[in-house]
Amino acid sequence: MPAVKRSVGSATLTALFCLAALGHPNAYAGGRGGEGNENTGPKPRGDATHDGTLSATAGAVVFNRSKNGSGESTGPVAAAPGTWTPPACYYAPRYTPAQMRQYKESIWGVESTGYQWDAKQRDTYVDGHPYKDFNEAKAGKGYWWDSYVTEGREGDPAASTCAEDNFWVDTGAAPPANISQAITPEMLAQLAYAEMRVPSTKVDLAPAGTTKVNLPTWAWLDTAKFKPVSVTASVPLLDVTATTTAQPVSLRIDPGTADAQTYPASGVCEMTGDRIGEAYAKGRAEETPPCGVRYLRSSGDDSYALRATLTWKIHWTGTGIPEPRDLPDGTFGVGQDVVVQEIQSVNR
């Protein structure tokens, strides 16, 4: 949309009600920057369910979450701060010619944007400079594209960078070269990254819950919970798709106090085969745990907040990209309380 300031008075409200009255039965989250989130455009092929595995949650983009992490304590993976974020906005198909006519004429009809702007819009989309009658002669041969704001990024200044007005793209054709934020498989992969959820990283400890000063405490993960997870994002109208996959690779132990020694010294327990760390077994009291911690001071009447953070290696494949390509590693961690008591001797 051009840089036009619209009043927020009764005329604008009337325009919004007119848009709602167009009656397109499908509304999806993610919308035109500054104009709300209702998508009155064409419905993506395929049905959306309500079980959280398949849904249209970002306008033209459909997410398949059937291979995502599950359980009570899942959470999003996060790249290192300041290194990378998914796109805040993008361009994708939205309107057929008939829908575009309804959308534009409903705005012009309430005269909330001013005669000069409306006249320029009519010249662009109706009078043939460059479009004639909303491209109705091309019905079924393409779509009007629009800008979408990524869900959750509505207040991000980066979302305002998709400021181009609606433009037409023929089926099978590339968007105009000047539209750098037109949706691509790589952008879909980045959007899928933000939708991934991985299991909780609460570790098993021995001793569990309460340990002793200078006693090596073993830590390990139930690796059965930590299989690769993936989310697929697609734009069905374009037959473009991308799948982003996360594979666990290492676990970082933060004891919650500087008065502690980690095993290994780096605090990072690498994944070996299909496991991270080893479960403690009777008779191994004199061994150094491959993954764990030794507290050097009592927690007194309180506890230490041990935090276990799992690092996930992330890659994607997509339309025209059969070989995996890397995205930034992601992390997810949770804390758990550990009570450390002072004793004179320990027997196992």
Q: pLDDT tens-digit profile of 156-167? A: 999 999 999 999
When pLDDT is cut at 50, 70 and 90, the band that residue 2 belongs to is very low
Q: How far is CA 269 from the centre of its chain?
A: 27
Q: Which residues contact 313 (CB under 8 A, 6 or more apart)?
A: 246, 247, 248, 249, 326, 329
Q: Cα separation of 217 and 299, whole Å? A: 15
Q: Closest by alpha carbon to 340, among 279, 286, 296?
A: 296
When pLDDT is cut at 50, 70 and 90, the band that residue 344 belongs to is low
- pLDDT of res. 174: 93
Task: Please state, rounded to an integer, the average pLDDT across all residues of the chain.
Answer: 81
Are the C-beta atoms of 105 and 195 separated by less than 8 Å? no
Radius of gyration of the chain (CA): 27
Q: Which residues contact 182 (CB under 8 A, 6 or more apart)?
A: 90, 91, 92, 145, 175
Phi, psi of 98 (to 5 degrees): -65, -40
Q: Cα separation of 82 and 231, whole Å? A: 23
Q: Residue 5 above 60 pLDDT?
A: no
